[in-house]
Each structure stands twice: as structure tokens, then as C-alpha cells.
Structure 1
Amino acid sequence: MTRKQQRNGKRRAAPALTWVLLAAATAAALTVGACALWLPDRAPSVLGAPSMVESAPASVQEYSGTQQVNVVPTVSGNRELLGNASGTVTENWTGGELRSGTRAYQVNDRTVVALHTATPLYRDLKVGDKGEDVRSLNDELGRLGYDSVPQSAEYNWNTGNGWRQLMVDSGNSNGVAPEDMDMRLSDTMWIPEDVVNVRDWTAVQGSAVQAGAPLGTVPGGLVKLAIRNGSPSEKERTLTVFDVAAPLPAGSTEITDAGLLAQIAATEGYQGKTPEERAAGMDAQLTLNQTIQTLRVPAGAVFGTDGASACIATGTTQAPETVPVRIITSELGASLVQAEHMDANDVHDVLIGPTLATLRCG
């Protein structure tokens, strides 16, 4: 074989070897792919079944009860003040204000006393008389510091003695005559609150007045502020409206104190609102007078809820302990509760999850 023939043979062998190598690589790839298709799927370890969370931490939190609320006003209309005496006004002490138990004016030299009673007085009264007007008179005499039997619907000796004392103080009596124990309606003028502002007063000195005729007007004003959808509390609270702090006794959701209401009505915040804006409700802040210690737990740890009563569970899933609690409030996925018969500082973890469904509350 010549050298030329040997070179040509080598050239023909090189492509053949290349094709053999390509065929072998292709076969190996196909074999691996086929095996991968037939192998069972295996999930990554990070996607494995999660472990069950069965408890969560609990912590002690001081609760002040501070919350934003909406208060709705009750506003009265103008009211006329009616006199019960007829004659000539010989003296007048009424300026722009009248207070219960004080002198208002004088008719035929006899003093007329302004008096606020829950039930307006409408008749003369003497020892032995009974009725709701008598009960109201007893209550007001007691509030003013005179002898009486508060809450009693009978005009007894104490009531008469208290009335006699008031008439002596007003200048109508020296207190020695037996009839001084009797109440004369003409000596009184009913006012709708303990203290009222008066407009258009006509019983000036020298004028003639008639029983039953209007003598002045009490302008309509704020008579109550109530928390919209308010819930009473066992604790004393403070309701702050336009920077005026008003105490709320336990069980109360409204302000009725005339003095506090007058302060609120005089604020720029109240005066700056239209009647329609006031009727729609005004912002206020409600706070407990004393903070209370609560237990902060996840909302999902509370079960068996019945109103404000519920339960939480402590211990382990194998040995759970049900703890009755009172729900104070809920916020941001957590509940603030007070545990019954257990110190909150002793609770560090509470149970959550399916275990709670197997427990009974109460």
C-alpha cells in the first residue's frame, strides 16, 4: 500500500469514530431521561408536612381601658318659667341665673323661692299628704341641707320642719306659727334643673303678675351626653369630651351632671359644631380611673365564649387545665382577659389548636 493510500484510509476512519462517540453519548442521555421519568417524585425537605403548633406564649399587660368613643347629645328645647303667685312684684333678685333653694322675686312682700324637684309641685302640701310630688320635695329639701326624709312619699313632720326652715331663711316666716309647717304653692316657682340660665325675665319690680303666666324662658341646652352603643363597666371611668373630664360611675354610660354639661357646651369644640354635626355624634375618650392587670393571649386561645365569659387552657395537650376568664377587650389578633382563681403572673403559655375543641368551658 502506498503512502497516499494510507493517508486516505486515515481520513475515512476519523469521521466514523466521531459518529460512534456521538451515538454513544445520545444513548446515555436517553437512558438517563427515561429513568428520570419512571422514578417516583420526592418532595423537597422544605415542603414536608409542618409540625403542629399547640401552644403560644402569654404575657401580663396593664390595661387602662383607653378607647375612642362617639358621644351623642340630648338637647332640650326652650322652656317657660311659670309663676304661682298673683299680685305686684315688690322685689326682684333674678338676673341671668336661678338656683334651686334661692329667692327669685317677691310678690306683695312675700318671697317666691325657685325650686327644682323631679316632679313639679302643683298643690299646697301639709303633714299627712302623700304623692310623688311629696317624694320630690323631700329629696330636694335633703339635697339643700334641710330636714326631710329623702325617698319618702309622705309629707311628715320632718318635711314640714324642713320647709319651715327654708321659709325662715327666705324671709317669709319667723318659724313659730303652726301653719309655717305647711307648704304654699304660691311661695314656689319650679325650675327644670338645679341651676338654670334665664332669658326674657318679666317679673321686674312694680310689674303685675298672674299665677300660671310665664315670667321668663330657660333656653334649650345640653341635658345629656351618652356613649353611642356604650357598654357599662364594673369600674369607675372618666369620659373626656373637648378636654372636659367627666366622671362615669360604675354601670353608667352617660353624663347628666348639669355643671359638667354646661362646661362642655361652653367649649370652642362644642360651639364650633352645627346642630347636625352634634346630632351625628362627637369624638370623646374613655379611660378607666385605675388600670387593671390582664393576661394577653392569642385570640385563638380563647374558647367557650358566652358574652364576656370564656376560657383558656394551660398545661399540655396530654394534661390540659381549663381556666375560666373574663374578656376585657380584643385588639390586633390578641385578647386581654382576666383569669378567675389564678394569678396572671403564673400563666406563661396557653394551649391553641385542635385540643381546645375537646375541652369544656364552664
Structure 2
Amino acid sequence: MLAVTLPKPASLEAPAETTVLPVSERSFSDERAVGVAVEYGPARALTSGRTGIVTASTCEKGAALTSGSAPFSVDGSPVIALATSVPLWRDLAIGAKGSDVVALRTELARLGAGVEPGDTVNRATLLAFRQLVVNAGGTAAGVESISLGAVTWLPAPSIIATECPVAVGSQVGQGSALAGLPSLVLGARVSPLPDDLAEGQRLVRIDDQEFAVDAEGAFAPVDLDRLAATPAYAAARQVSDAEKIKASLLLTEPVQVYPVPPRAIIEAGGSFCVIDGGSPTKVDVLASQLGQSFVRPTGEGAALSEIALDPPSKTTCG
């Protein structure tokens, strides 16, 4: 009889305990999925400047209403939508002056109607308006002034109709709503703002748009119209005014960090450090996600290469 002891298969050997971990630098933007809460003003509407019967309408819920077009006709005459900075409030004949005239001529110039900005209604202003009427299927005959009943005010050059309550054949009065418009956006902010963010200026990404936000996550007023033009904003509005916009919050300028296991970090005397190459190296802990901590050496030009996973409990950070 011969007894032979076979070696233990490698797959059954106890794994060697790892005491150090090679680390490498990576870019870190601290991106978080967040919601954006919007503060809305009162509802708005496209209104009729005169009483009559609606004889034509191109209004469609969810479609854009644009300045220079005629989304409605009343009593057979086109109603021209104009995005003037000041709503027109009176009939404007040749020779009229005022802030409303300045707003009208500025918008006609923007539309490429061959009018220079100015403060007086001249013949060129009237001819430009007549051409808008003709382009909309109306006739120039009888257009001797820019009648208040022939225009309707848009708060922006292009804006989405939220509803179209008036059908062709309906009777409308002066001031009647022809189309619903989105409520004015008064403000927007990240809500809630995560409380464990890495320090640094941040931006919010919504669809393909990026918006700077302050330390409290608030949007700048100049960006609110651009926010209201995103598909994500429209999707949230279709649910309710309380629905938050889905977005990402991230650092404006990504930073270089080292991902390390939390157990490798020593906290002593209000400082943090890791054992790198056998010596303590002070680090800033920027954030923690998914079981990893993201650290950055504090010294000028400092780097990490191989850190101890279980540093001695009495180690100090120096």
C-alpha cells in the first residue's frame, strides 16, 4: 500500500490578504440626479383686440405661436401676433410717437420688415405692417393705421400654446382669450439641494442645456426663458405645476481626485490622511459615493500611488 499526499488545488488556497491598494487619478464632476422646482406667475393668454366672429385659426395645443404670424382671423381679417417689449394699447396712425411705437418698430426691424428702429410711425412702418397682413392672407386695402384690433400681443418671439379654447365660428369680445400661454416663470431652484456636495461652482444640465446656479441651487433670472423652452420643462408642466423637472447637478469645472475605500482614510485632529508609500499624506475628502471616498492630496503637486488599506489605529496625520 502506498499513500500519496496531493497538493491542495490553487482554487482552494486561502487568498493572500491585500494590505495596499494601487490608486490612480481620475476626473470627478460629482454629478447628482436632482429635481428642479419652478415658481410660476399667473396664467397668461393671447387676447382679441376686438369683438367679432373667429373666421380662421391655426392654433394647436403644444405648437408654437410666433411673432409676425396671424394665428387667428376675426371677421375675415388676420390678427397679427407681435412680440413687442411694450404691449400695444392704442391705434397707431402715421405721426404717432411713444414707447409703444419704439417697441413696434424694433420688433418690425427684428422681423426683417425693412423698418429701422425709431420713435415715430412713418410710412415705412405702415407699409411693413400692411405686408404682414398680406402675408397672412389679408388685404392691404383699408389698412391706414396699425389698429389695436388687428394685433395681439405675444410675451416672447415664440411661445407654446397651452390651450386653444376658441373654435372657428365662435363669438369673441375685446379682451377674450384666444389661446392659453404658459405662466411666467418667476424662479427656479434645485430642490432639495444635496447636503454632501463637493465644494465648487455648480451647473444644472437639463436635456442638452446647461444653467449656472448659485450656492443655494437657484437659477439666474436671465436663464428662466431658456429653461422654459426645454422639453423637460414642457414634460413637467403637462403633469402639474408642482412636478419637478428632471435634471443633473454637477461641478462646473471637474476636479482630479483619487477614489479610495473609506477604511483607508485616517481622521485625526480635525485632519484627514492616508498612508501612501508608508508615510501619512494629508488629503481633502471631497465626497463619498457607492462605497468609495474621493480624496485629493492637499500639498502642492502631491500625488498618491499606493495606499494602505488598514492603517494602524493610532496613526496621526502629522
TM-score, normalized by length of structure 1? 0.47
The structure richer in helix per residue is: 1
Instruction: Return the letter of the residue paired with 1:245.
Output: Q
- Tell me the equivalent position of 2:73: 106
- Tell me the equivalent position of 1:94: 59
Cα distance in structure 1, aligned partners of 2:79 and 2:231: 29
Matches within 5 A, 1:69-84: 73-84=38-49
Residues 1:185 and 2:148 are matched in the alignment: yes
Whether the 8 Å contact between 1:80 and 1:215 is mirrored in structure 2 is yes
Q: CA deviation at 1:144?
A: 2.1
Q: CA deviation at 1:200?
A: 4.7
Instruction: Return the letter of the residue paired with 1:261.
Output: A
Q: Percent identity?
A: 27
Instruction: Return the letter of the residue paired with 1:242.
Output: I
- Tell me the equivalent position of 1:158: 124
Q: Cα–Cα, structure 1 residues 76 and 105, in superposed 2: closer, same or farther, change >3 Å?
A: same
- Tell me the equivalent position of 1:128: 95
Cα distance in structure 2, aligned partners of 1:213 and 1:173: 24
Structure 2 gap ranges (5+): 1-28, 192-200, 213-218, 255-294, 302-318
SS at match of 1:255: helix
- Tell me the equivalent position of 1:299: none
Q: Cα–Cα, structure 1 residues 95 and 277, in superposed 2: closer, same or farther, change >3 Å?
A: closer
Matches within 5 A, 1:199-210: 199-202=163-166, 204-210=167-173
Matches within 5 A, 1:239-250: 239-246=203-210
Q: Deviations over 1:29-67 (max 9, x none)?
A: xxxxxxxxxxxxxxxxxxxxxxxxxxxxxxxxxxxx999
Matches within 5 A, 1:350-361: none
SS at match of 1:103: coil
**68-77 or 253-262, which deviates more:** 68-77
Cα distance in structure 2, aligned partners of 1:198 and 1:117: 21
- Tell me the equivalent position of 1:310: none
Instruction: Return the letter of the residue paired with 1:80.
Output: A
Cα distance in structure 2, aligned partners of 1:104 and 1:272: 26
- Tell me the equivalent position of 2:50: 85
Instruction: Return the letter of the residue paired with 2:52.
Output: G
Whether the 8 Å contact between 1:89 and 1:206 is mirrored in structure 2 is yes
Cα distance in structure 2, aligned partners of 1:164 and 1:286: 52
Residues 1:137 and 2:104 are matched in the alignment: yes
Cα distance in structure 2, aligned partners of 1:86 and 1:191: 19
- Tell me the equivalent position of 2:175: 212
SS at match of 1:165: helix
Instruction: Return the letter of the residue paired with 1:215.
Output: L
Q: CA deviation at 1:123?
A: 0.9
SS at match of 2:81: strand
Q: Cα–Cα, structure 1 residues 246 and 109, in superposed 2: closer, same or farther, change >3 Å?
A: same
- Tell me the equivalent position of 1:60: none
Q: Aligned match of 2:230 in 262, 273, 285?
A: 262
Instruction: Return the letter of the residue paired with 1:198.
Output: T
Cα distance in structure 1, aligned partners of 2:40 and 2:209: 20
Q: 1 or 2 for the larger relative contact order (CA 8 Å, sep ≥6)?
A: 2
Q: Cα–Cα, structure 1 residues 255 and 224, in superposed 2: closer, same or farther, change >3 Å?
A: farther
Residues 1:198 and 2:150 are matched in the alignment: no
